[in-house]
Chain A
Amino acid sequence: MSTLFNRIRKAIETLLIASLLAMVALTFADVIGRRFFGTPIYGAHDLTEHLMTLLVFSGLPLLTSARGHLVVDLFDRFVMTDSMRWWRGLTTLLVAAILLLIAYQFVLAALDAEDIQEVSQELLIPRSYFYYLISLSCLVSAIAALLPPQKTEPHTQEDAS
């Protein structure tokens, strides 16, 4: 089972690298093409936006699993004590609940987008697929928030101070 999880994690990490590399390559080629050859890449902005969505929502489950979200550590001496364990549990539930709400809402948004055939401005990419991706990402992140933290390359944020 852990081998399967590891493979999925590696696959997502590869997707993150590919998305970011594609954003750089696309912007680079678009600017060079536009300025020096008069041939910009049609829909480059559109593609960048979708790659950005792919990047953010592919990375969200890994970040949540690694407890990588930003926290304020000013009162750690108080919050990180054994007597506040219940609060930390409540915080975990709160994070999962918010992620589940967003997942639910994006299923509705995806269904609406299918109904009205919502597409991107230049390349006419159907938005519903990306809304489903956001929904799935938030659902997986909610589950990840409830499970024990996992180590993710290259580092994690929470509990670091």
Chain B
Amino acid sequence: MTIGLIALIAVLILTFLRVPLAFSLLTVSITGLALDLGMNTALTTTSMTISEAVFSYEMAVVPLFILMGNILSRSGISADLFRAANAHFGHVRGGLALSTMVTCAGFSAVCGSSLATAATMTKVAFPSMKKYGYSNGLAAATIAAGGTLGILIPPSIILMIYGILTQTNIGHLFVAGVIPGMLGLGLYMLAIYIIALVRPGSAPRGEKSTPQERLQSLKGVWPFCLLFLLIIGGIYAKVFTATEAAGMGAGFALIIALVQRRIGWKEFRQIFLESAFVSVMLYCVLFGAMLFAKLISFSGLGEGLLQWVQATGLSSYGLIFVILAVFLVLGCVMDSLAIILICVPLFTPLIIANGFDLIWFGIIVVVVTEIAFITPPIGMNVFVIKATLPEIAFKDIFRGLVPFIGVDLVRLTLLVLFPSISLALVHWMQ
């Protein structure tokens, strides 16, 4: 447990001292594992973790959706989409950010990957928001927060993993995620509206379009609608998985861009190279995060935390808040998938023993890990955006995220206090 605790602090220090994130995680993890289990085991675990991650078909969703986003962005489809959005909502203060948020929700619901949504929407939405004079902080934070909506709106990879770990019906989990997901979208939009009211300069109002202009603006949107319907329809009809949907999306985006001559050879080369480099960068961080999760697990830190929670003798709801606090703290330094994998099996018996519903707990846990996607220092969505937009400082993105983290905490409190928000549709279904 001591090694795990020291490792957590060491990762934070190295990361803040500008050691590349992937290497601060790898250095601390290899050192910690070597101290705990010996050097040979540490190195073997490292190579196994890397090969498990890289030889994973499911993880191919990342480069393929990044590629799709790059194609959409460079081919001008994104400009068409935001021209349409601006024609309809541009006159409202914060209108483009609101459109971005809805698009994020729709897209992340389709791909089921928060990281891929953040990566794609950065390419699609950010240039337009900048073009219309939005502040860096609000534009980047809208995309980072919007990307998290995908974890809850089905199909969600994290919910699937939770269902497998706890042997809970995945279909019920998906249904239970719908209302909390919509609630999240509504609260995020409310946050944008309030930001636009308080700081009008960060989300300027555009000119009001005529009805003819609005109609004309829809002309360029059909390729995006086609892709959207293809991906949503394909996944919901179980025609293909998220990775396959990503491949199909990238393929169709490429065909549309080439047939309509929206990109030439030079752009084609740049799109593919940029997608490849961002993917390599993300994979390196994932190698580190996955190995770090193993160190935390081996060091017994998770178990130590559990014993501490059990020793407090708290009431049922007090216990839930302490468990969520543990998730939030771990979420500051670990990726969401790792948190779910480590903590859920530990806390599940405690949840059952206290008479809580596992579906409800799953939704709560996912909302907490959503928050972890946008909290420093390892908010993965923020890193995806930073990887795509290196000119924006981390502090600007994190500062912009404060209101979104605030409304997330409001939603979390509502979901904890009123379980029927999550369970009503499931009960109705049954």
Tell yes or no: B89 within 8 A of A by CB: no
Chain B residues near A109 (CB, 8 Å)? 47, 51
- For chain B, the bracket of interface size reads 35 or more
Determine which residue in B15, B251, B386 has the highest number of CB atoms from chain A within 10 A of its CB, and name it.
B251
Question: In the complex the two chains form, is B250's CB within 8 Å of A24's CB?
Answer: yes
Known: A16-B273, A68-B281, A105-B43. A91 touches B19 (CB 8 A): yes
A144 to B52, CA, bound (A): 25
Q: Which of A63-89 contact B (CB under 8 A)?
A: 63, 68-76, 79-80, 87-88
Known: A16-B273, A25-B251, A152-B277. A75 touches B17 (CB 8 A): yes
Please tell me which one of the listed residues B18, B270, B392 contacts residue A91 in the complex, with CB atoms under 8 A apart. Answer: B18
How close is B32's CB to chain A, nearest CB, in angstroms? 13
Binding site of B, secondary structure by majority: helix, strand, loop or mixed? helix
A94 to B284, CA, bound (A): 15
Tell yes or no: B423 within 8 A of A by CB: no
Known: A69-B281, A94-B19, A98-B27. A161 touches B393 (CB 8 A): yes
Question: In the complex the two chains form, is B280's CB within 8 Å of A63's CB?
Answer: yes
A37 to B272, CA, bound (A): 29
Known: A70-B285, A71-B18, A152-B277. A20 touches B247 (CB 8 A): no
Interface-facing stretch out of B54-62, B140-148, B361-369, B409-417 = B54-62
Question: In the complex the two chains form, is B272's CB within 8 Å of A49's CB?
Answer: no
Question: In the complex the two chains form, is B281's CB within 8 Å of A48's CB?
Answer: no
A94 to B26, CA, bound (A): 10
Binding site of A, secondary structure by majority: helix, strand, loop or mixed? helix
A161 to B393, CA, bound (A): 5
How close is B266's CB to chain A, nearest CB, in angstroms? 11
Question: In the complex the two chains form, is B57's CB within 8 Å of A156's CB?
Answer: no
Q: Which of B4-55 contact A (CB under 8 A)?
A: 15-23, 26-27, 30, 43-44, 46-47, 50-51, 54-55
- For chain A, the bracket of interface size reads 35 or more
Closest to A15 in B: B276
Question: In the complex the two chains form, is A98's CB within 8 Å of B17's CB?
Answer: no
Tell yes or no: B377 within 8 A of A by CB: yes
How close is A151's CB to chain B, nearest CB, in angstroms? 12
Tell yes or no: B331 within 8 A of A by CB: no
Question: In the complex the two chains form, is B251's CB within 8 Å of A20's CB?
Answer: no
Chain B residues near A88 (CB, 8 Å)? 18
A56 to B279, CA, bound (A): 7
Question: In the complex the two chains form, is B22's CB within 8 Å of A105's CB?
Answer: no
Chain A residues near B280 (CB, 8 Å)? 55-56, 59-60, 63, 68
Closest to B384 in A: A70
A101 to B392, CA, bound (A): 33
Known: A27-B247, A70-B383, A73-B394. A87 touches B17 (CB 8 A): yes
Chain B residues near A71 (CB, 8 Å)? 18-21
Tell yes or no: A28 within 8 A of B by CB: yes
A104 to B50, CA, bound (A): 14
Q: Interface code B227-240, partner A: CB below 8 Å = 1, 0 otherwise?
A: 00000001000011
Chain A residues near B395 (CB, 8 Å)? 73-74
How close is A155's CB to chain B, nearest CB, in angstroms? 7
Question: In the complex the two chains form, is B274's CB within 8 Å of A102's CB?
Answer: no
Closest to A17 in B: B272
A49 to B243, CA, bound (A): 11
Tell yes or no: A139 within 8 A of B by CB: no
A105 to B42, CA, bound (A): 10
Known: A48-B60, A69-B284, A72-B16. A27 touches B55 (CB 8 A): no
Tell yes or no: B269 within 8 A of A by CB: yes
Tell yes or no: A157 within 8 A of B by CB: yes
Question: In the complex the two chains form, is A102's CB within 8 Å of B18's CB?
Answer: no
Question: In the complex the two chains form, is B18's CB within 8 Å of A63's CB?
Answer: no
Q: Which of A36-72 contact B (CB under 8 A)?
A: 45, 48-50, 52-53, 55-57, 59-60, 62-63, 68-72
Q: Which 6 A-B pairs have the closest CB atoms?
A: A27-B247, A160-B390, A69-B20, A28-B251, A59-B280, A16-B276
- 19 inter-chain pairs at a CB distance below 8 angstroms, sorted by A residue, are A31-B248, A45-B57, A48-B57, A49-B56, A56-B280, A69-B284, A70-B386, A72-B15, A73-B393, A74-B394, A79-B17, A91-B23, A98-B30, A101-B43, A106-B47, A131-B47, A154-B273, A154-B274, A160-B390
If A56-B280, A153-B270 are given as contacts, then 4 extra A-B residue pairs at C-beta distance below 8 Å, sorted by A number, are: A52-B54, A55-B63, A127-B51, A161-B391
